[in-house]
Amino acid sequence: MSQPPRPPAEGIYRRVTVRMYGDQRFMRLSPLLPSGQALWMYLLTGPHTGPIPGVFVAGRAALAEALGWDTQAFQKAFAEVLSEGLAEFDEKTRMCFIPNAIHHNTPPNPNVVKSWRAPWLQLPECDLRRRIFDHLQSALSEVSDAFGKAFEETCGKPFENASPKASPKHMAKQEQEAGDRKQEKKTSAKRRPIASPAGSLFDEFWSHYPKRAAKKAAQKAFDKVNPNRAKLDAMIVAIKAQKTSEGWTKDKGQFIPNAATWLNGERWTDELSVDLVAAPANSDYERNQAMLAAEAERGRTLKVDPDLIRAAKATSEAARLRRLGAATGPAPIASLLPKLDEAA
């Protein structure tokens, strides 16, 4: 790599803070017009610059947008800067290098050079990075041997990614932290709730529930209930029965609760009123049986859902128990289904 001319030692320099570009008063000034000089000054001092002088990663389009220049004007100015050797650019990695930047912004002491390790390792590997390494090592060695040594020890070889050898104390700390993380994973695994088996039970529940909203919350509530096969059957029957209720059919289902609310409130245990099957509350057992026979007949001809017929049976059973004084009110459907299944 050819060495660009270094500014004379007697030159007078000024420090420029990158915060200038974000200052409100500065931004109200008329902007930089497209030109090679304006671009080079911006590349040298702009907010894209990092801790290593003259080294940064930024694409042409990003730089043009930051300056407010159109693409054609930026390309022309950038070509001028490159042709004069004031900058180098790697198209593939979008890494840019301003060779004279190290002379305009020489680090004040070797400790500053040592702070460059992290940003140096983040630079993409390419031929330009190798040339940057050689150029910075030569330039810093000219300042003093201490600067050159600090750069070589900090940045190592151009493509070295390994971290410095850790001290025994540091290694012991790393081992302790690794052990803590392992223990934390074991504790988290113990606390993790058991999910529905392969999503099969929840998927079946979700396919029956009429309101498809807040599925993630529903999954969480379902896992908390963690129903077995029998309980899920009772829940599905209750859903199909409640679909016909006035509360769920009114205003096109506007008042159907979210599945998570339904699960958290254990709404499958709600008491079934005979109103669900359009029979008066004071009807006797015989009238309910006649109504049930009619429902069964329609079930054969119109293919009514068998679970809805089971709900009708549960309703009739509740009415019979009320009539005989065996129950003080409508019975929860979940408690009636096992008895009906046994009787069947």
**pLDDT tens for each residue of 83-92:** 999 999 999 9
Cα-Cα-Cα-Cα torsion 44, 49, 54, 60, nearest 10 degrees, comes to: -80
Residue 265's contacts (CB-CB under 8 Å, 6 or more residues apart) are 257
Given a cut of 70, whether residue 40 has pLDDT beyond it is yes
**Mean pLDDT for the chain overall:** 75
Query: Which is more confident, 35 or 20?
Result: 35
pLDDT score for 281: 40
Residues in the chain: 344
pLDDT score for 234: 85
Given a cut of 90, whether residue 81 has pLDDT beyond it is yes
Given a cut of 50, whether residue 188 has pLDDT beyond it is yes
pLDDT score for 39: 92
Q: How confident is the model at residue 344 (pLDDT cuts 50, 70, 90)?
A: very low
> CATH 1.10.10.10: which residues of the chain?
18-155
Q: How far is CA 23 from CA 29, 50, 96, 103, in A?
A: 10, 19, 25, 26
The token pair at 222 is 């379902």
| Whole-structure pTM value | 0.43
Is 18-155 a domain of CATH 1.10.10.10?
A: yes
Q: SS3 helix, strand, coil % of the chain, rounded to 5?
A: 60, 5, 35
